[in-house]
Structure 1
Amino acid sequence: MRRPARGLPRRLLMAAGPWASTLVLFLWWFLATRSPASSRPLPSPAEVLAAGRDLAAEGLLWPSVGTSLARVLAGLALGVALAVPAAVLSGASRIGLAVIDRPVHMLRAIPFPALSPLFIIWLGIDELMKVALIAVGVFGLVYVNVRDAIRGLDPRLAELARAYRLPRVLVFRRILFRGALPGFFTGLRFAITVAWIALVTCETVNSTVGIGYVLARAQQFSRTDQMMLCVLLYALLGLASEAVVALLERLLLPWRAAAAR
């Protein structure tokens, strides 16, 4: 009966360990902003919380968070839906690699601000343009990681499948799918980060709601408290996104979670 009691502090310590550096950073922020507001460029945590309350009372904060999250999810879904088939074709076929690979790498090298004016001309200034710009950033990262995961599979697995005359559906499910999953999750992690970065560019164009809109408005009026609030919102949403991906990875790749213990 005593063993669980002794193990509880250790489990709590292990759970709190990854947050130690974050807590130190917030403590530094609190201590560094105890001087009068006129003598420092950085807003205090209390001022940032007050800015959040003001934006919530204005009816802008939570609709902006919801709209930004919806745009990121839509762009992420579109980018993944296009990247995975392209990566499978490129990774499993030399013809697919020759046709698809170089255009994708050229697209990845183009900055978001350079694509934004073209997308406005082609798609207008509504939601479709914003979702498409996010999807472009997502596409390249998921494509590269899934393609490399497929091309890195042991060729003897394919030879074994041919020797046993396994159906193509079974080969795809047991070999390609399972072999590509680790690369997919790696690409997804990077893609989510890029999706939030692309969102900032998107929401500066014809937006009346969204975290990027709030950030641009705060910059215009030199509201550092609201700017810091937007930065924290991006950080928290990115952290929540990483937690969701980690949960999916544990569900779909249980052998990796077991190996990490």
Structure 2
Amino acid sequence: MSDFSLIETMRWEPGTGIVRLRLHLARLKRSAGRLGFLGADKAAEKLAEVLGEILPPSALSGISPSRGEITESQSRLRGDSDLISPLEGEMSAMPTEGGNPIKIAAGIPALRVRLTLSPTGGIAITTAPFSPLPADTVWRVAIASARLDSSNRLLRHKTTRRDIYETARAEYPAADADEVLLLNEKNEPCEGTITSIFLDDGSDALKTPPVACGLLAGVLRTELICARRARIQHLSLADLQTGTLYMGNSLRGLIRAKLLTGT
């Protein structure tokens, strides 16, 4: 039996629901299938149940499931499927008043929603208030001495087995670096401790490393690739110093970054 759980960390927003929900659920189900975990098909139902318990009715009204893409089984989640929306940017599916989108519960803050799935199908969900970073934020990114192993296929899944990421993060005080970049045994840039990496080299799309380098198939990364706003390409440290670097994940979005030299 595996000694770790699968994780999905998501953002809930008033009037939108869970951002990129369909992609989060798809990744969870894919990882569960490949690793032999049970219960992934119950994740959407559990999310609806938990959010229905913690959010007031004013925060739930007026949100639609955007063409019903809640789960592959197209279940109605006991009538609570309107708590969640599968993809950011699908607001056109929301009901309107006088031709304008309904604005609901403006005082309800965004939430960080963390779901874990155990090997036997146990699902735990926790929530916390979430404050987005200012738009002009620039992260300082240091380079870890710890290395990822590109042959470790578990790195392609988001799990609670995070020793390598915690070790890398611990190499630098938070006052010195906002994020830490991990390389693999070939010195190829792979990912941050909590983010995917993207390079704007001035061409038509952002560049992001392939999962074969030893990295997580991030949800934001998947969305950008599918939208042709990013494409897969092997990168070097020299590449990262000649273009504009971004770090990002589904919770925080894209964040401008500056690679610290001499680290």
TM-score when normalising by structure 1: 0.26
Report which structure shows greater RCO (CA 8 Å, sep ≥6).
1
Choose 1 or 2 for highest CA Rg. Answer: 1
TM-score when normalising by structure 2: 0.26
More helix as a share of residues? 1
